[in-house]
Amino acid sequence: MKSYKKELWFDIKKRRELINITPEVDDCLIESGIKEGLCLVNAMHITASVFINDDESGLHRDFERWLEKLAPEKPYSQYDHNGYEDNGDAHLKRTIMGREVVVAITNGKLDFGPWEQIFYGEFDGKRRKRVLVKIIGE
Ligand code: ZN
């Protein structure tokens, strides 16, 4: 069995942003040379997510509105976590959007359903953060 690991780094200028990272994960898969197996992609931070959904701008605005209803950023004082930080909302948003995805690899390709794309969800940006890509198989 072959094993491949790479870290992708992101430096998001805004507090929140969704980025389609499918091309970067595809590059990892090509670099790995693995044709059959599994690809894990996970955020390495507790205020960011990796998830799979549609790359459609209306849906992305819906995610933003929905997450702000569930866990509004402000007022910061509403969160017990915000004693020394202001990112209580980002921890909650990350939890609901998920930590990682696993995608099957078939015939050297990410084996997606229709319209599936991999996203990095940043909820407390303005600093460098990373995503782990781990691919195993043969
Ligand atoms: Zn925190």
For the chain, list the domains and their CATH numbers: 2-137 (2.60.120.460)
**In the predicted model, what is the mean pLDDT of residues 48-64?**
98
Please check whether residue 120 is in contact with residue 131, taking contact to mean a CB–CB distance below 8 angstroms.
yes
Distance from the CA of 122 to the center of ligand 1, in angstroms?
13
> How much of the chain is helix, strand and coil, in % rounded to 5?
30, 40, 35
**In the predicted model, what is the mean pLDDT of residues 84-109?**
98
How far does Cα 101 stand from its chain's mean position?
8
Distance from the CA of 54 to the center of ligand 1, in angstroms?
28
Which pTM does this prediction carry?
A: 0.96
The pLDDT of residue 70: 98
**In the predicted model, what is the mean pLDDT of residues 93-98?**
98
Closest CA to 74 of 55, 88, 92, 84: 88
Q: Tens digit of pLDDT for each residue in 116-134?
A: 999 999 999 999 999 999 9
Please check whether residue 95 is in contact with residue 88, taking contact to mean a CB–CB distance below 8 angstroms.
no
**In the predicted model, what is the mean pLDDT of residues 80-94?**
97
Distance from the CA of 78 to the center of ligand 1, in angstroms?
14
Distance from the CA of 36 to the center of ligand 1, in angstroms?
38
